[in-house]
Chains A and B, each alone.
Chain A
Amino acid sequence: MTRWIFTFLSFFSTIFFPWIFTVVLALVTSLLEPLIPLAIGLFADTLYYSPSAEIIPFFTLYGAIASIVASFVRSRLKTSIIME
């Protein structure tokens, strides 16, 4: 349920709140679901990316990096005694 709420809030925030708030929310959600930053980054660029303003879709790029880092951290925690 918590995952659902945070996932929904992240998408909601992309449209309704300034981008910095969305970034924080996506990073918090990545602790529960590592793919969320990538999904939110892709969604943000789908809404706002303009090829004329930037060559690189930064939100997708940073989202992918955050997802990779979150996945790595989770994999390390799974193999450690903290998650046991």
Chain B
Amino acid sequence: MKKTFLAKRNAIFSSENISWGTFALSISVLFLLLRLLAPNFFWQIFTPMFRMSETVSEKSQAIFNSFKDTAELASQNEKLTNDNAALANENRTLLQKIKNISGFAPDVRGIVAGVIARPPESPYDTLVLAKGSNDGIELGMEAFGVSVQADAGVVPLGVVSMVLSNFSRVTLFSAPRMTVNGWVGHDGLPLSITGAGAGAMNASVPRSAGIEVGDIVFAPGPGMLPVGNVIRVDNEPHSSSVALRIMPLLNPFSIAWVELRSTGAVATSTIP
């Protein structure tokens, strides 16, 4: 005779009572507790995922690009092959120069750190870096990126606002309420740059200064370093000042590496 077994039911933890929403919320709370109680362990867990995310976005970008016109791609490929050969030669020359220079100034460079999370994944205009206090990173260090635009060179990006043993966070100059003193135009007119979110910055200057679209905005690093371009000048008819909309030279959405240095040029008090 076939026996029928009935599964025991738990009156408190019945799967019928717990919805997926409650389960998901519990998981989120668990991760939050993990971040608050063991932040370094938390970032150890999520770093491989962010790396995978980066790979996925690169692959998807390549797939979308492959749908473009093949003839255009062929000509582009030929041009890039020629460029590549020229750049390889230039690279060899520059490497030789670096070898020569590094002997004279070994401490010019700072700490180079890889970016784990950047906008838009990191939505508050911050960068999460894969290096922390164990690697010599300190609160208030200035972060720099390298711009591929002509003559821009090293571009100040923001300030280290949080340091863990193996990870750190940089608050970009474009973060809302972030304020940094800088200069604009050929005459180096001093101004206060305020973050506007989503990679953009704002500033206000007297109307008589004659600032125009395209003028370069500088931030303090060692000396004056270009940080962005004026892309719009908003005139208020009854105001003696004009509002400048500034676009950063380096796109925060595509920063893969940053260099960190203790310049002392940007005070931590400027971080909101």
List residues of chain A with CB under 8 Å of any chain B CB.
3-4, 7, 10-11, 15-16, 18-20, 32-36, 38-40, 42-50, 52-54, 59
Nearest-CB residue, chain A, relative to B19: A33
Q: From residue B29, how far is it (CB to closest CB) to chain A in Å? A: 7
Q: From residue A77, how far is it (CB to closest CB) to chain B in Å? A: 16
B124/A7 in contact, CB under 8 A = no
A50/B24 in contact, CB under 8 A = no
List residues of chain B with CB under 8 Å of any chain A CB.
19-25, 27-29, 31-32, 35, 46, 49-50, 52-53, 56-57, 117, 120-126, 128, 161-162, 169, 171, 175-178, 271-272
A46/B22 in contact, CB under 8 A = no
Q: From residue B127, how far is it (CB to closest CB) to chain A in Å? A: 10
Nearest-CB residue, chain A, relative to B159: A52
Q: From residue A46, how far is it (CB to closest CB) to chain B in Å? A: 5
A39/B21 in contact, CB under 8 A = yes
Chain B residues whose C-beta falls within 8 Å of the C-beta of A32 in the assembled complex = 20
Chain A residues whose C-beta falls within 8 Å of the C-beta of B32 in the assembled complex = 42, 45-46
Chain B residues whose C-beta falls within 8 Å of the C-beta of A7 in the assembled complex = 20-21, 23-24
A46/B171 in contact, CB under 8 A = no
A19/B171 in contact, CB under 8 A = no
Nearest-CB residue, chain A, relative to B21: A35
Which residue, A3, A39, A53, has most C-beta atoms of chain B within 10 A?
A53
Q: Once the chains are docked, how many angstroms separate the CA of A9 from the CA of B122?
A: 18
A48/B21 in contact, CB under 8 A = no
Chain A residues whose C-beta falls within 8 Å of the C-beta of B125 in the assembled complex = 53
Chain B residues whose C-beta falls within 8 Å of the C-beta of A50 in the assembled complex = 124, 126, 161-162, 169, 171, 175
Please tell me which one of the listed residues B25, B27, B49 contacts residue A38 in the complex, with CB atoms under 8 A apart: B25
Q: Once the chains are docked, how many angstroms separate the CA of A3 from the CA of B15?
A: 14
Chain A residues whose C-beta falls within 8 Å of the C-beta of B162 in the assembled complex = 50, 52
Closest 8 CB pairs of A and B: A35-B21, A33-B21, A39-B24, A53-B124, A52-B161, A42-B28, A18-B120, A39-B25
Nearest-CB residue, chain A, relative to B52: A16
Please tell me which one of the listed residues B25, B35, B175, B176 contacts residue A35 in the complex, with CB atoms under 8 A apart: B25
A16/B117 in contact, CB under 8 A = no
A53/B24 in contact, CB under 8 A = no
